[in-house]
Amino acid sequence: MKISNRNSAITVSQLNSYIEELFRGSSVLSDLKIQGEITGFKNHSSGHKYFSIRDEYAKVNCFLSKNQAVFLRFIPEDGMHVEITGFLSVYKPNGTYSVFVKSITPAGEGTFSLAFEALKRKLDSEGLFSPESKKPIPRFASHIGIVTSENGAAVDDIITTIKKKNNKVKISLFPSLVQGEHAASDIANKIESANRIYPDMDVLIVGRGGGSVEDLWAYNEEVLARAVYNSSIPIISAVGHEMDWSICDFVADYRAETPTAAGEKAAYDSNLLVETLKNKAVLLKQALKNKTDLLLEQVNLAGREINSEMDSLIRHCEYQCERAKLSLSANNPNSIMEKGYSMAESMEGRLIRSVRSVKENDRISINLIDGRLLCTVNSIKKMDITHKQTVENGGPNNG
């Protein structure tokens, strides 16, 4: 709005609107970049963030909308030294002005450390660093993925190391940004793509070469940490040098000191494996021979024992057969009749063992050694075996 007459009174609303237009029309105030220390930081339930930044002489209110807050690369806290970009705006109902923040980044080593520790505490409390959530790195990977810059030295170091150990392994590269404002989101997207495209991939290396704190900061952002945690593929983190620790290192399933060390961990040595298998085969062959020799000796020993037992059994059977032969011979009716005995049978062929089995006038057969006699029973004499007395019953035996 324009104030046409300086002598005319204006309303408070008009004043505030006029100031707002002045702010918007200023190339400086509409595109601010300010450094200062955070104070009075508040998370509103709506998702908006309210805070002030100050130096040793003054402070200014700041407002970060929930839509912009989702792009935060760290967790702001009081005492952090930050750099913000945005524009100055008037809150017309009460005439106060604030900086509407578009972006906020740590400024200075101390602030980076504060931001790092703040996010680390948050993720640790949620269990993202828990040992129970770590997936084992496969010992014999046949497919290895890499998320890093396609032009950096890190990718060459990783691939060279893998190929040197095993030139048969499949390598899939997912080129990504490794530093800058959008790097964390880009790396997170590539991790998700690897899981979607190759769900059976054995292991995924995420990392880059060394650099300053600012250069490595993408690997300390929450969006990347959650992508690493949610990956179904085991992840090896390889960020910077051995002394460089990142949030990605804490969340990953394995932390390698360098990209080269990541390649060493991910790939198995095929030549060493072949040599190991050969040695194992020799040991197995010798073990089988030893076992076979032992079993053969046991079989031979058992055979000797069995032969001895069989010989003893055969001799016993021969003895038993000889005894049975003698017994049969002794009880053979023909042998008895050869001694002068005879055998009486009824006409039906039943052996007559007692005089009680016949009666007078019965027809019987008397078997002798050289034939038989057909007789008629004229009389029967019974013998009292106990008193050796003969009782005559009837006439003489005319059989």
Tell me: the pLDDT tens digits for 89-133? 888 888 888 899 998 888 876 677 888 888 999 999 999 999 999
394 band by pLDDT with thresholds 50, 70 and 90: very low
The values of phi and psi at residue 279, to 5°, are -60, -40
395 band by pLDDT with thresholds 50, 70 and 90: very low
Percent of the chain with pLDDT over 70: 90
Copy the structure tokens of residue 276. 């190991």
Residues whose CB is less than 8 angstroms from the CB of residue 162 and which lie 6 or more positions away in sequence, other chains included: 144, 169, 171, 263, 266, 267
Place of tokens 């640790």: 124
CA–CA separation, 213 and 105 (whole Å): 12
Instruction: Please state whether the predicted TM-score (pTM) of the whole model is above 0.85.
Output: no
Q: CB atoms < 10 A from the CB of 47, how many?
A: 12
Please give the residue that has the higher pLDDT: either 72 or 225: 225
Helix axes 183-197, 222-230, angle to 10 degrees: 10
Q: Please give the single-letter amino acid code of residue 390.
A: T
CB 100 within 8 A of CB 87: yes
CB 27 within 8 A of CB 73: no
pLDDT on residue 316: 85
Copy the structure tokens of residue 341. 């005995």
Tell me: the pLDDT tens digits for 325-359? 777 776 676 777 777 778 888 888 888 888 888 88
Copy the structure tokens of residue 247. 């949030």
Q: Please give the single-letter amino acid code of residue 394.
A: G
